[in-house]
Structure 1
Amino acid sequence: MAIVGAVVLFITLVVLGGYFLYRSLPGSAGGGVVSEGAGTSADARSESAKMEVLYVKVVGDSSDVLVRIPGGDVLSDVTMEQGQYVSFDQPSLDVTIGSPDAVEVYVNGELRDISGEEPGYTFTAEAP
């Protein structure tokens, strides 16, 4: 009976260790999730996400999106395809957009037109 308990404890520790290792990887912290923008419930989530500190939606073919806490962790470093979006609600974020003409960017719920900027455009988004 003690052996069964030890095996169950070992499996539990391995699962928890794997979970926390996954959460510590770059791009998996900070609550930003790349989501598809199709469907009614996704559209509702997209609308509420626009009110966060940062919301980026790809309206063109694709764009690289790098989001990090200034001087700290990388929250997202992905190539997003058309219809995908990501949002974050941290107080301050450094953002780099690979293709500014392919995205819509909302900062604190307000559309920021970056379509005329050069590729690799970088800016800081801060909570009000």
Structure 2
Amino acid sequence: MLGIAAAIAVFVVLVGLGVFFLYNSLPGQASAPSTATPPAAAEEAGEADDSMLYIKVVGEASDVLVRVPGGEVLTDATMTQGQFLSYDHAELEVTLGDPEAVEVYVNGELKDLSEAGDGYSFMAEAA
């Protein structure tokens, strides 16, 4: 009799786990927060390069929007510490959610963002 009770208990646990994992696999149902995929141009670590625009997250995180003026959005993502991106275009529109969390180099020169507030936008142009 004890063996049957143990088998039923194991069966109930396995069914419960199956339901739990099935529920969590449904879109928007995860119990833990999901991590967004970083933009294609964002990588881990890295040093400033010769690109016209180079952005590296040195703080916790920042929303970053980079686009060609009046055109294509190149990056629109929340980037986290250590991620960076770089672009070589003649002109780009850049918006930073938290300017204190990033280092921005335009044409190889560090841009002073000490006076910039949240949602700071600027135009980056090739030298």
What range describes the TM-score normalised by the shorter chain of this pair?
A: 0.5 to 0.7
Deviations 1:35-87 (CA, angstroms, capped at 9, x unpaired): 000xxxxx4xx34x3x2110000000000000000010100001000010010
Q: Contact (CA 8 Å) 1:52, 1:108: kept in 2 or not?
A: yes
Long gaps (5+) in structure 1: 1-26, 38-42
2:42 maps to 1:34: yes
**What is the deviation of 1:116?**
2.5
Corresponding residue for residue 105 of structure 1: 104
**Please, what TM-score do these two structures have when normalized by structure 2?**
0.67
CA distance in 1, matches of 2:56, 2:91: 19
- How many residues align structurally? 90
Corresponding residue for residue 94 of structure 1: 93
Corresponding residue for residue 13 of structure 1: none
RMSD over aligned Cα atoms: 1.7
One-letter amino acid of the structure 1 residue matched with residue 42 of structure 2: V
Q: Contact (CA 8 Å) 1:101, 1:116: kept in 2 or not?
A: no
One-letter amino acid of the structure 2 residue matched with residue 89 of structure 1: D
Corresponding residue for residue 76 of structure 1: 75
**What is the deviation of 1:113?**
1.3
Once the two structures are superposed, the pairs formed by residues 1-128 of structure 1 within 5 Å of their partners are 33-37=41-45, 43=46, 46-47=47-48, 49=49, 51-128=50-127
Corresponding residue for residue 26 of structure 2: none
Deviations 1:97-128 (CA, angstroms, capped at 9, x unpaired): 00000000000000001133110000000001
Structure 1 moving runs of 4+ over 2 Å: none
CA distance in 2, matches of 1:59, 1:35: 13
Larger radius of gyration between Structure 1 and Structure 2: 2
Q: Percent of aligned pairs with the same residue?
A: 54
Q: Contact (CA 8 Å) 1:103, 1:115: kept in 2 or not?
A: no
CA distance in 2, matches of 1:73, 1:116: 28
Q: Contact (CA 8 Å) 1:102, 1:115: kept in 2 or not?
A: no
**Please, what TM-score do these two structures have when normalized by structure 1?**
0.66
Q: Contact (CA 8 Å) 1:93, 1:125: kept in 2 or not?
A: yes
